[in-house]
Amino acid sequence: MKPVIILNFKTYLEGTGAKAISIAKACEAVAAETGLEIIAAPQLPDIYQVARSVNIPVYSQHLDGTTGGSTTGHILAECVKYAGASGTLINHSERRLTLAQIDESITAAVRTGLSTVVCTNNIATTRAAALLNPDYVAIEPPELIGSGIPVSKADPDIVTGSVEAVHAINPNVKVLCGAGISKGEDLAAALELGSVGVLLASGIIKAVDPKAALYELVSKV
Protein backbone atom coordinates (compact mmCIF):
# COMPACT_ATOMS: atom_id res chain seq x y z
CA MET A 1 0.00 0.00 0.00
CA LYS A 2 1.24 3.46 -0.91
CA PRO A 3 1.90 5.81 2.00
CA VAL A 4 -0.99 8.24 2.50
CA ILE A 5 -0.57 11.94 3.18
CA ILE A 6 -3.63 13.97 4.10
CA LEU A 7 -3.03 17.70 4.02
CA ASN A 8 -5.48 19.58 6.25
CA PHE A 9 -5.76 23.17 5.05
CA LYS A 10 -7.57 24.14 8.29
CA THR A 11 -8.70 27.76 7.93
CA TYR A 12 -5.24 29.11 7.23
CA LEU A 13 -5.42 32.21 5.05
CA GLU A 14 -2.38 30.74 3.28
CA GLY A 15 -4.65 27.87 2.17
CA THR A 16 -7.85 29.78 1.37
CA GLY A 17 -9.41 30.48 -2.04
CA ALA A 18 -6.88 30.83 -4.87
CA LYS A 19 -4.12 29.73 -2.50
CA ALA A 20 -6.05 26.54 -1.73
CA ILE A 21 -6.09 25.71 -5.42
CA SER A 22 -2.40 26.46 -5.73
CA ILE A 23 -1.46 24.21 -2.82
CA ALA A 24 -3.73 21.44 -4.10
CA LYS A 25 -1.91 21.64 -7.44
CA ALA A 26 1.38 21.29 -5.62
CA CYS A 27 -0.02 18.17 -3.93
CA GLU A 28 -1.07 16.82 -7.31
CA ALA A 29 2.36 17.42 -8.83
CA VAL A 30 4.19 15.72 -5.96
CA ALA A 31 1.74 12.80 -5.97
CA ALA A 32 2.17 12.34 -9.71
CA GLU A 33 5.93 12.38 -9.47
CA THR A 34 6.29 10.14 -6.44
CA GLY A 35 3.33 7.80 -6.74
CA LEU A 36 2.28 8.60 -3.19
CA GLU A 37 -1.36 9.10 -2.23
CA ILE A 38 -1.75 12.76 -1.35
CA ILE A 39 -5.17 14.00 -0.29
CA ALA A 40 -6.16 17.66 -0.02
CA ALA A 41 -8.62 18.74 2.69
CA PRO A 42 -9.52 22.37 1.97
CA GLN A 43 -12.27 24.43 3.60
CA LEU A 44 -15.87 23.58 2.76
CA PRO A 45 -16.56 26.56 0.47
CA ASP A 46 -13.31 25.77 -1.39
CA ILE A 47 -14.07 22.09 -2.06
CA TYR A 48 -15.77 22.68 -5.40
CA GLN A 49 -13.00 24.75 -6.94
CA VAL A 50 -10.21 22.59 -5.56
CA ALA A 51 -11.88 19.40 -6.74
CA ARG A 52 -12.34 20.85 -10.24
CA SER A 53 -8.71 21.94 -10.38
CA VAL A 54 -6.85 18.78 -9.44
CA ASN A 55 -6.88 15.07 -10.04
CA ILE A 56 -6.18 13.89 -6.51
CA PRO A 57 -8.71 13.02 -3.79
CA VAL A 58 -10.28 15.99 -2.03
CA TYR A 59 -11.67 15.50 1.48
CA SER A 60 -13.94 17.64 3.60
CA GLN A 61 -12.64 18.78 6.99
CA HIS A 62 -15.91 17.91 8.70
CA LEU A 63 -19.18 16.11 8.08
CA ASP A 64 -22.43 16.13 10.01
CA GLY A 65 -24.69 13.11 10.28
CA THR A 66 -27.78 14.88 8.99
CA THR A 67 -29.83 13.02 6.40
CA GLY A 68 -30.98 16.37 5.02
CA GLY A 69 -33.64 18.72 6.34
CA SER A 70 -33.96 21.19 9.20
CA THR A 71 -30.28 21.41 9.97
CA THR A 72 -29.26 24.88 8.82
CA GLY A 73 -25.51 25.37 8.63
CA HIS A 74 -24.78 21.66 8.99
CA ILE A 75 -22.65 19.75 6.49
CA LEU A 76 -24.63 17.23 4.47
CA ALA A 77 -22.80 14.27 2.90
CA GLU A 78 -24.69 14.54 -0.38
CA CYS A 79 -23.71 18.18 -0.74
CA VAL A 80 -20.05 17.57 0.04
CA LYS A 81 -20.05 14.71 -2.46
CA TYR A 82 -21.70 16.82 -5.14
CA ALA A 83 -19.05 19.50 -4.65
CA GLY A 84 -16.42 16.94 -5.53
CA ALA A 85 -15.14 15.50 -2.28
CA SER A 86 -14.45 11.78 -2.04
CA GLY A 87 -13.89 11.60 1.71
CA THR A 88 -13.97 13.50 4.95
CA LEU A 89 -12.22 14.08 8.24
CA ILE A 90 -14.50 13.43 11.21
CA ASN A 91 -14.02 14.52 14.81
CA HIS A 92 -10.86 16.58 14.31
CA SER A 93 -9.60 17.90 17.64
CA GLU A 94 -10.69 21.37 16.54
CA ARG A 95 -14.19 20.12 15.63
CA ARG A 96 -15.09 17.40 18.10
CA LEU A 97 -18.32 15.43 17.89
CA THR A 98 -20.26 13.34 20.37
CA LEU A 99 -19.91 9.58 20.09
CA ALA A 100 -23.41 9.34 18.57
CA GLN A 101 -22.54 12.07 16.06
CA ILE A 102 -19.33 10.31 14.97
CA ASP A 103 -21.41 7.21 14.30
CA GLU A 104 -24.02 9.21 12.38
CA SER A 105 -21.34 11.02 10.42
CA ILE A 106 -19.73 7.72 9.36
CA THR A 107 -23.18 6.42 8.41
CA ALA A 108 -23.79 9.50 6.27
CA ALA A 109 -20.41 9.08 4.58
CA VAL A 110 -21.03 5.42 3.84
CA ARG A 111 -24.46 6.31 2.45
CA THR A 112 -22.83 8.58 -0.11
CA GLY A 113 -19.61 6.69 -0.73
CA LEU A 114 -17.30 9.09 1.05
CA SER A 115 -14.16 7.73 2.70
CA THR A 116 -13.82 8.45 6.42
CA VAL A 117 -10.94 9.48 8.66
CA VAL A 118 -11.89 9.65 12.33
CA CYS A 119 -9.44 11.68 14.39
CA THR A 120 -8.70 10.54 17.92
CA ASN A 121 -6.56 11.65 20.83
CA ASN A 122 -5.25 8.53 22.54
CA ILE A 123 -5.13 4.74 22.23
CA ALA A 124 -8.41 4.21 24.12
CA THR A 125 -10.44 6.49 21.85
CA THR A 126 -8.63 5.14 18.78
CA ARG A 127 -9.79 1.62 19.61
CA ALA A 128 -13.34 2.81 20.23
CA ALA A 129 -13.39 4.78 16.98
CA ALA A 130 -11.98 1.80 15.04
CA LEU A 131 -15.01 -0.25 16.10
CA LEU A 132 -17.24 2.21 14.22
CA ASN A 133 -15.66 1.03 10.96
CA PRO A 134 -14.18 4.15 9.43
CA ASP A 135 -11.65 3.72 6.63
CA TYR A 136 -8.96 5.39 8.73
CA VAL A 137 -8.37 6.50 12.26
CA ALA A 138 -5.87 9.33 12.71
CA ILE A 139 -4.30 9.43 16.13
CA GLU A 140 -3.23 12.98 17.03
CA PRO A 141 -2.24 13.90 20.57
CA PRO A 142 -3.88 17.36 20.81
CA GLU A 143 -1.02 18.88 22.76
CA LEU A 144 1.35 18.23 19.83
CA ILE A 145 -0.88 19.63 17.06
CA GLY A 146 0.78 22.67 15.55
CA SER A 147 3.67 22.29 17.95
CA GLY A 148 6.36 21.48 15.42
CA ILE A 149 7.27 18.51 17.64
CA PRO A 150 6.40 15.37 15.65
CA VAL A 151 4.28 12.73 17.37
CA SER A 152 6.61 10.13 15.87
CA LYS A 153 9.43 11.54 17.98
CA ALA A 154 7.58 12.88 21.05
CA ASP A 155 5.34 9.88 21.60
CA PRO A 156 6.20 6.95 19.29
CA ASP A 157 4.42 4.53 21.64
CA ILE A 158 1.06 6.15 20.99
CA VAL A 159 1.52 5.36 17.30
CA THR A 160 2.65 1.76 17.73
CA GLY A 161 0.09 1.27 20.48
CA SER A 162 -2.69 2.55 18.21
CA VAL A 163 -1.54 0.39 15.33
CA GLU A 164 -1.49 -2.72 17.51
CA ALA A 165 -4.81 -1.95 19.16
CA VAL A 166 -6.58 -1.31 15.87
CA HIS A 167 -5.02 -4.37 14.27
CA ALA A 168 -6.37 -6.49 17.13
CA ILE A 169 -9.85 -4.98 17.24
CA ASN A 170 -10.64 -4.20 13.62
CA PRO A 171 -7.90 -4.91 11.06
CA ASN A 172 -9.94 -3.34 8.25
CA VAL A 173 -9.18 0.09 9.64
CA LYS A 174 -5.97 1.82 8.61
CA VAL A 175 -4.05 3.97 11.06
CA LEU A 176 -2.70 7.42 10.31
CA CYS A 177 -0.84 9.57 12.75
CA GLY A 178 -0.57 13.30 13.03
CA ALA A 179 0.51 16.29 15.12
CA GLY A 180 3.76 18.08 14.60
CA ILE A 181 4.55 16.27 11.34
CA SER A 182 6.35 18.38 8.73
CA LYS A 183 9.65 16.82 7.69
CA GLY A 184 10.71 13.84 5.63
CA GLU A 185 12.09 12.11 8.67
CA ASP A 186 8.73 12.50 10.43
CA LEU A 187 6.88 10.75 7.62
CA ALA A 188 9.51 8.03 7.45
CA ALA A 189 9.29 7.50 11.20
CA ALA A 190 5.47 7.40 11.07
CA LEU A 191 5.63 4.61 8.49
CA GLU A 192 8.26 2.70 10.45
CA LEU A 193 6.03 2.84 13.51
CA GLY A 194 3.38 1.00 11.53
CA SER A 195 1.02 3.75 10.45
CA VAL A 196 0.04 3.93 6.77
CA GLY A 197 0.63 7.65 6.59
CA VAL A 198 0.20 11.05 8.14
CA LEU A 199 -2.26 13.88 8.65
CA LEU A 200 -0.55 17.24 8.63
CA ALA A 201 -1.28 20.94 8.20
CA SER A 202 0.76 23.98 9.19
CA GLY A 203 4.14 22.50 8.29
CA ILE A 204 3.13 22.56 4.63
CA ILE A 205 0.34 25.16 4.42
CA LYS A 206 2.32 27.85 6.22
CA ALA A 207 5.63 27.01 4.56
CA VAL A 208 7.20 29.78 2.49
CA ASP A 209 7.15 27.33 -0.42
CA PRO A 210 4.52 24.62 0.16
CA LYS A 211 5.59 22.64 -2.90
CA ALA A 212 9.19 22.51 -1.73
CA ALA A 213 7.98 21.56 1.72
CA LEU A 214 5.95 18.70 0.21
CA TYR A 215 8.99 17.46 -1.72
CA GLU A 216 11.02 17.54 1.46
CA LEU A 217 8.24 15.67 3.29
CA VAL A 218 8.29 12.78 0.84
CA SER A 219 12.06 12.75 0.34
CA LYS A 220 12.75 9.92 2.80
CA VAL A 221 10.23 7.38 1.54
DSSP annotation of 149 reads S
Q: In whole angstroms, how close is the CB of 219 to its own copies at the nearest point?
A: 26
For residue 49, count other CB atoms closer than 10 A to its CB: 18
Contact 1, 196 (CB under 8 A): yes
For residue 199, count other CB atoms closer than 10 A to its CB: 28
14 is catalytic: no
Q: In whole angstroms, how close is the CB of 194 to its own copies at the nearest point?
A: 20
Among candidate residues 62, 104, 140, 216, the one labeled active-site is: 140
Q: In whole angstroms, how close is the CB of 53 to its own copies at the nearest point?
A: 12
What b/e readout covers 132-161, taking b as 16+ CB neighbours within 10 angstroms?
A: bebbbbbbbbeebbeeebbbbeebbebbbb
Question: Which amino acid would we find at residue 1?
Answer: M
Q: In whole angstroms, how close is the CB of 40 to its own copies at the nearest point?
A: 14
Nearer to its own copies, 103 or 216 (CB): 103
Q: List residues near its own copies by CB under 8 A.
A: 8, 10-13, 16-18, 43-49, 60-62, 66, 68-76, 78-80, 82-83, 85, 89, 91-103, 120-122, 124-125, 127-129, 131-133, 145-146, 169, 201-202
Report the length, in residues, of the chain. 221
Nearer to its own copies, 68 or 113 (CB): 68
Nearer to its own copies, 140 or 216 (CB): 140
Burial (Cβ within 10 Å: 0-12, 13-18, ≥19) of residue 18:
exposed
Largest CA distance in the chain: 48
74 is catalytic: no
Among candidate residues 14, 28, 74, 92, the one labeled active-site is: 92
Q: Tell me the three state secondary structure of residue 187.
A: helix
Nearer to its own copies, 3 or 42 (CB): 42
Nearer to its own copies, 100 or 208 (CB): 100
Question: Which amino acid would we find at residue 155?
Answer: D
Q: In whole angstroms, how close is the CB of 48 to its own copies at the nearest point?
A: 4
Residues known to be catalytic = 92, 140
